[in-house]
Amino acid sequence: MPLFFKISHFFFYFFFVISSSPLEYNHPLESLTLFELTQVTNIVKNSYFPLNVTFHYVGLNEPNKQLVLSWLSSTDHPALPRKAIVITRIDQKTHEIIVDLSSVSILSDKIYNGHGYPMLTLQEQTAADELPLSYPPFISSIKKRRLKLKEVVCQGFAVGWYGEKRKSTNRIVKVMCYYLDGTVNLYMRPIEGITITVLLDQMIIASYIDRLIVPVPKANGTDYMGSKRRRSSHESNSIKIVQPDGPSFTLDNGNTVRWGDWKFHVAYDMRAGMIISLASIFDADKEEFRSVLYRGFVSEVFVPYMDLTEEWYYRTYFDAGEYGFGLCAVELEASKDCPENAKFIDGYFISQDGTPGKMPNVICIFERYAGDIMWRHTELAIPGKVIRKVRPEVSLVVRMVSTVGNYDYITDYEFKQSGSIKVTVGLTGLLEVRGSIYTHNDQIKEDVYGTLIAENTLGAYHDHFFTYHLDLDVDGHENSFVKNNLKTRRVINKSSPRKSYWTVVSETAETESDARIQLGSSRGALEMVVVNPNKKTEVGNEIGYCLIPGGSATSPLLKDNDYPQIRGGFTKYNVWVTPYNKSEKWAGGLYTDQSHGDDTLAIWSLRDREIKNTDIVLWYTFGVHHVPKQEDFPIMPTLSTGFELKPTNFFQHNPVL
């Protein structure tokens, strides 16, 4: 989705680093430090002086996996080489640069000539948003609608791709505008009928169309900032979370977290946002930490809208690849976004001109107890005795909130004492609505591509697909993917009074095509397990972790040959398994803006590589088909979905006894 960038909204802090020495770091997967980001800027700018360099993405070019695993197993933890991947635009060409921070040099510089462009920057979107406000034809259109120009705000939208054979030579956004005048909820007051095309590299308006006039929805009822609360039949008392002895987890300077039997690393990235790495759990029976997840993060968020009108058809967003899921992260507020017992982590990024920026409190970590039960039993079968045992469920949550335009995504990793990792995405914020002539449902005699949620206000049908990159290393990096098919069997030969039963038929995927799964299809009940075939429990079961889908393992409804679906082809299957490849991180491709879908997970997987008993990556896509409802107006209650990674014969017994 598009971004509405107001500096005061994001409360960014831009500053130059004047320190002459780097900050201390030990962890090889730690995000680039402030000093390192400044190094990157200086190295790249000096190499291309006097050319103008615009920075679109800077992130850690993590060491090879084998080096990291060797570092992890060593006792002295020697410093590994620090490198950065830098994506820039220089002289209207896209450069992919690898910078060696140890030698203060550029290792490689590749000019990208394929389809697609890098992430949009905050600054160029802000500049594009401001262009219409001084553009005479637009000012005339606003006067024609009898609106006040000072109450108008605009924002740019990525335009996608719709079958053009030749590569677009221009980076483009289309700008739409909104009307405040009595509300801060701009998204509920769109100014319809106007399409403004902006060339980003030249920062000029290339095309302007004022097609029709549609009533702007009224401001009344759209405010969500007011202090007045709805009268309730019974007021709730406040709830406070207190840990008198302080948190039970530790967070070191390298952002390694230790809690209970869990140990893992947390990092921030401009594109992925929050990254969880090297998650392992202590096995008391074996007296050692055992690996579970080498690296997990949001790879892409695909949000196609179903409105086919001129001002809407191109709204098929890739929130990570076009806008940056991490770049859209916001400062978390103590006692509101996160409870009182939370600790916070800052994030650092580079702005368009190379200036380092700080995102304070972008990730929070806290212990959660919500009255849930971890396990319990009441035994009544022993004569004369009542035996009862209950253990409360306390878990550790790592959270980030990304505000991508109108939507706020709350992403949680929840680590449980039982060994499970539960991943949840909460959707809240504001609907994207289209202004309409209709004030009542009975007036509608055409397909309006949405729900009438208020007078003159149509909430557009749309999807949210979240694709996670999950590099599971289940007790080692040589793993396999097993499908446990639950099959119904008929009772034969009258061996039982029963007529049927079900059993498990296991199938180990040999190649990538064997592992593609579209949940909810006619294949029947299924368990999906990543196993270590080289290790077994004492009773002979393969050690594994099971993927448990949440309540909405949604599959796309668009046709395979529709252009948005070609670009988002990685959503066709909920599950993909690929051999580990350091370069295969972004399901929608490295250069997603105006991409043609020719460098995606769906394309890589066509090689049908072997995935048995090797280092593999599990990709999981889930989401929702969102049919807007009146309860989503003017601000949407949080809707949550997700999945769980659960130990399956990983331990010898229940690990929380």
Instruction: Report CA-CA distances (Å) from 402 to 7, 167, 277, 405, 468.
Output: 15, 31, 20, 9, 15
Q: How far apart are CA 284 and CA 261, in angstroms?
A: 9
| CA–CA separation, 55 and 351 (whole Å) | 7
Write down the H helix ranges in 572-650.
601-604
| Helix/strand/coil for 646 | strand
User: Cβ distance 31 to 347 under 8 Å?
Assistant: yes
Q: Which residues pair with 399 in a beta bridge?
A: 364, 412
Q: CB of 302 within 8 A of CB of 568?
A: yes
Q: For residue 156, what are the CA distances in angstroms to 53, 317, 631?
A: 22, 12, 27
Task: Using alpha carbons, select from 298, 529, 528, 545 the residue that is nearest to residue 398.
Answer: 298
3-state SS, residue 443: helix
> 79 vs 74, 263, 456, CA distance in Å?
11, 20, 61
Residue with tokens 């290393």: 473
Return the ∠ at Cα 558 (arms to 557 and 564), rounded to 5°. Answer: 140
Classify 589 in phi/psi space as left (phi over 0), alpha (psi -120 to 50) or beta: left
Cα(84)–Cα(98) distance, integer angstroms: 6
Q: Give the span between the Cα atoms of 249 and 396, in whole angstroms.
A: 8
Indicate the pairing of strand 356-368 with strand 450-454: unpaired
d(CA 217, CA 195): 18
Would you name the residues annotated as active-site residues? 319, 407
Beta-strand ranges (E) seen in 217-287 are 250-251, 256-259, 262-269, 273-283
